[in-house]
Structure 1
Amino acid sequence: MQLFKTLLNSCLTEIQAMKRLTSVIATGLALGLSFGAQAGTLEDVQKRGSVSCGVSTGLAGFSQKDENGTWSGLDVDVCRSVAAAVLGDASKVQYKPLTAKERFTALQSGEIDILSRNTTWTHTRDTSLGLNFAGVNYYDGQGFMVSKDLGVSSALDLDGAAVCIQAGTTTELNLADYFRANGITYNAITFDTSDQTRAGFESGRCDVLTSDQSQLYALRIGLKDPSSAMVLPEVISKEPLGPVVRQGDDQWFNIVKWSVYAMVEAEFMGINSANADQAKSQGNPGQQRLMGVDTDSGEKMGISNDWAYNIVKQVGNYGESFERNVGQGSPLKISRGLNAQWNKGGIMYSSPVR
C-alpha cells in the first residue's frame, strides 16, 4: 500500500510539473506573438509613405500648429527627423494632437508610430506600459508661475494656494511630494489641456500654475499680458523629455533613438543644414561617416546610409532646432542651460555614430 501511495504521489508530481511547463510554453508563445504583432513599424511607415506622430494639442516651442496648418516645434522636429531618416523627406509626417491622458493609449494601440509630446521619461512609464523612451530631446524641471500681483517670491510662500495642474502628468505627483515635504497645503484644480490651465490661471481660478518650466514660459507668452506673470526660482523635479515608441520593435526603436542622436552629434561635429553638403564631400572622416560616406550605419537599421545627412540637411542639427523653436530666435528665448552640448556646460550628449 505504501509503495502504491509513493508511486501515485510521484505521478501527480510529474503531472503538475508538465502542467507548469505547458503554462510557461503557452505564455512564451503569447508574448512572442504579442511582440511579433508590434514589430514591423518601419515596413508599415514605408508602405504608408508617412510617419504618424503624436504631438501636443498646442504648446509653443514644442508642438504647435499655425494658421496655415503647419506644425513646428522642438518635438515636431523629432517627428520630422524620423521621416527624413526613413523616407528621405522630413515633410512626410501625419500629426496627431493628443492630450496628456490620451497619449500613451494612442501609442499602445498602434494609432501612432511615435509619441513626441513633451513627455517625461520615468521608471513607471518605461517599465509598465509596454513602451520605450528613445532618448532625451529636452532636459527640464517642474516650476511655478504666479501673478506678480500675488506678491510672492518663492514657492514656499504658496501655503494654501489654489494650483492649476494638467491632468495625467507627472506634475501632480511632484506637486504633492513637494508640498508635503515642506509642510504646506494647496488646493488642486485640474484641467485636461495646457491651454485650459492657462485660461484657469488667467481668469483667477488659481493662484499659481505649475508645470515643466519650459511649458510655463510657453504658456506665459500666450497670456494677454505676459509681463503680469513671473516664474518662481524653484525647480522641484527632474523632467527628461523625449520621444516614445512601443516595446517589441527594436528596429524602430533604434531608428527613432539614432535620429535624435544624429541631430545632437551633428551639432557637436559642427555640421548644420547649411554646410551638410560640404561636410559630406570635404569633411573630416567623422563628419563624412555621419553624413553617410563609406558606412553601413543605415543598412544596419534597414534604411538608407544617408539617413543622418537627410536629417541634418532638411531639419538641422540640435542647436538649430533649439534656437529657432525655444531659444533666442524664438518668442520663448530660453537659454540652453542643461541642453547645451556636454563640452559647452550642458549635458546634451550623443553616443558615437560609428
Structure 2
Amino acid sequence: MKKPTRILTLTALAVASMMAFAGCSSAASADTAGDPTGGTPATELRLGYFANITHAPALIGLQEGIFQKALGDTALTTQTFTAGPAAIEALSAGAIDATFIGPNPSINTFIQSGGVSARIVAGATIGGAALVVRDGISSPSDLKGTTIATPQLGNTQDVALRSWLKEKGLATDTTGGGDVHITPTENAQALTLFRDGQIDGAWVPEPWASRLVLDAGGTVLVDEAELWPGGVFPTTVLLVRTDYLQAHPQTVAALVQGDLDAIAWIVEHPDTAGAQINARLAADTGKGLSDAVLTRALAHVSFSADPHAETFQTLVDHGRQAGTQKSGSIVGLFDLRPLNGLLQQRGAPSVSAAGLGEQ
C-alpha cells in the first residue's frame, strides 16, 4: 500500500504534548493528573468511537495498544457507532463509560440532562467535514428541492447543514420537509444512494466526504473549514459520563493520557500512520480505504487534545437555529483538569475551558 503523502500538521498543543510525553510512562503519569484524590481505579472502561478518519486518535489508540497501556490493569472494551446520537443513547443508558464523539451530541445530552450527564475531558480532531453534491449544483440556490443526507438527526454534520441552509435562506424541518429535504442516513448507505442518484448530496465527515468525491464523482460545495475563523472547528471530542468521572478520576486521566499519546504517535509516524489507521478501519468495517481516499481524507483533518471550548457557544446557537436542540446553558460542560494536569507536569501549555467548566 502506498503511504499517504500528507497528514495535516498537528496544532501546537499536540506537537508540544508529543515532545513532552516522549519517553514517559503513561500509566504512572495519568495517576497524578487532574484531581486524583478520592474514587478508585475502575476495573473496566467501556469506550465508544466511530470507524471514521475523524476518529483517528481513537483508531490509533486501539490499533497500537496505546489506550490499554495507559489504562494499566483497567480492562478496555469498545463499541463502534455510526453517529453521535446513537453513542449518546448508549452513554446515557450506562452501556458505555466514555466515547469519542462530535460536539453537538455532547451539547445536547448536557443541556437535556440539566448539566449532569457527561463532561468533555479532551479534544481529538479538528476539521474534516464537507457538503458534497452531484453535478448541476454549484450554488446554494441550486439546492432548493433537493434531498441531502446527514449521518443522523441532531449529529454534528446535521446541525452544520441545517444552520448553513438557514443562513442561505433555505428552510428545513426535522421531518424532512422544507426547501431542502434532509434525510438522516448512515454514511455507507448515503454513499450508495448518492452513487445511484437517489440523493443529491450529503454533509458528512471524513473519509465519507472523500469517498463521495473520489468514488462517486461528487463535488465539494462547502468545506466546513471555510465557515470557521482560521478553519478551526472541533469535529471529535472525548466525552465521559459524569458519574464515571467522579468515581474513577484516575482512570479518566489515563484515558486522556491515551488520547494524547495516540495524537503524539500520529505525528511521530507520518509515514506509517495512514496504514495503521486503515488497518483499524479494515478490522472494524471489513474493508479499508483506497490509497487515494485515505490520502485525501487525512489532508483535511488535524489532531489536537484541545477541544476548542471557545467554539461551543456558536455550536449551541447553530443547534437552536437548526431546531435540533433545546435552549440551555452549557456552563459546566468541560472538565479539563485531567488534561491540564498532564500537560502541566510536562511543561506543555494548558488549554482553556472558555468559562464553560473546570480547567
- For normalisation by structure 1, the TM-score amounts to 0.54
Q: Corresponding residue for 2:27?
A: none
- Cα distance in 1 for residues equivalent to 2:59 and 2:266: 18
Matches within 5 A, 1:336-351: 336=299, 339=302, 351=343
Q: 2:159 aligns with which of 173, 177, 189?
A: 173
Superposition pairs for residues 242-257 of structure 1, below 5 Å? 242-248=237-243, 249=245, 250-257=249-256
Residue 132 of structure 2 corresponds to 145
Separation in structure 2 between the aligned mates of residue 352 and residue 246 of structure 1, nearest angstrom: 24
Distance 2:120 2:271 in 1: 21
The Cα of 1:85 is off from its aligned counterpart by 0.8
Q: Secondary structure at the match of 1:195?
A: helix
Distance change (3 Å), C-alpha of 1:152 and 1:267: closer
Amino acid at match of 1:242: V
Distance verdict in 2 for CA 1:177–1:239, change over 3 Å: same
Q: Which amino acid aligns with 2:143?
A: L
Q: CA deviation at 1:77?
A: 2.4
1:241 Cα deviation (Å)? 0.7
Whether contact under 8 Å (1:131, 1:245) holds in the other structure is yes
Paired residues of 2:88 and 2:109 also in contact (CA < 8 A): no
Q: Which moved more, 1:326-335 or 1:233-242?
A: 326-335
Measured in 1, the distance between the counterparts of 2:59 and 2:303 equals 19
Superposed, 1:268-347 pairs within 5 Å as 272=268, 321=273, 324-325=276-277, 331-333=293-295, 334-336=297-299, 339=302
Number of the residue aligned with 2:49? 55
Counterpart for residue 196 of structure 1: 189
Query: Structure 2 vs 1, CA of residues 106 and 141 (structure 1 numbering), >3 Å: closer, same or farther?
Result: same
List aligned pairs for 1:61-210, cutoff 5 A.
Answer: 61=53, 74-79=57-62, 80-87=65-72, 93-100=76-83, 101-117=85-101, 123-126=107-110, 128=115, 130-140=117-127, 142-147=129-134, 150-155=135-140, 157-168=142-153, 169-185=155-171, 186-210=179-203
For residues 242 and 319 of structure 1, the distance between their equivalents in structure 2, rounded to whole angstroms, comes to: 25
CA deviations 1:79-126 (Å, max 9, x no partner) are 44321211379xx75332334332112123332233135665754445
> Cα distance, 1:231 vs. partner?
2.2
Equivalences, count: 238
Mark the CA change 1:218 to 1:119 in structure 2 (over 3 Å): closer, same or farther. Answer: farther
Q: Which of these residues, 199, 219, 225, is aligned with residue 230 of structure 1?
A: 219
Unaligned runs of 5+ in 1: 1-38, 46-50, 64-72, 273-316, 343-348
The CA deviation string for residues 178-234 of structure 1, in whole angstroms up to 9 with x for no partner, is 11211135432423522222233223222111123554125556xxxx152222244
Structure 1 residue 163: deviation in Å? 0.9
- Give the C-alpha shift of residue 139 in structure 1: 0.4
Q: How far apart are the structure 1 equivalents of 2:127 and 2:139?
A: 19
1:341 to 1:86, Cα distance in 2 relative to 1, 3 A: closer
Distance 1:260 1:318 in 2: 17
| AA matched with 1:135 | A
Shift of 1:323: 6.9
How far apart, CA to CA, are the structure 2 residues paired with 1:108 and 1:88? 25
Cα deviation per residue 1:23-72 (whole Å; 9 max; x = unaligned)?
xxxxxxxxxxxxxxxx65x4222xxxxx432233x54x467xxxxxxxxx
Q: Which moved more, 1:117-126 or 1:170-179?
A: 117-126
Name which one, 1 or 2, has greater alpha-carbon Rg. Answer: 1
The one-letter code matched in structure 2 to 1:140 is G
In 2, the alpha carbon distance for the partners of 1:109 and 1:213 equals 28
Equivalent of residue 216 in structure 1, options 209, 218, 221: 209
Residue aligning to 1:258: 257
Deviations 1:113-156 (A, max 9, x none): 33135665754445546112232221025421122xx2233445
Aligned with 1:243: secondary structure? strand
Query: Following the alignment from structure 1 to structure 2, what is the Cα–Cα distance between the partners of residues 176 and 263?
Result: 33
Classify the secondary structure of the residue corresponding to 1:94.
strand
- When residues 114 and 208 of structure 1 are mapped into structure 2, their CA distance, relative to the original with a 3 A threshold, is same
Query: Relative contact order, CA 8 A, sep 6+: which one is greater?
Result: 2
Q: Distance in 2 between matches of 1:261 and 1:97?
A: 20
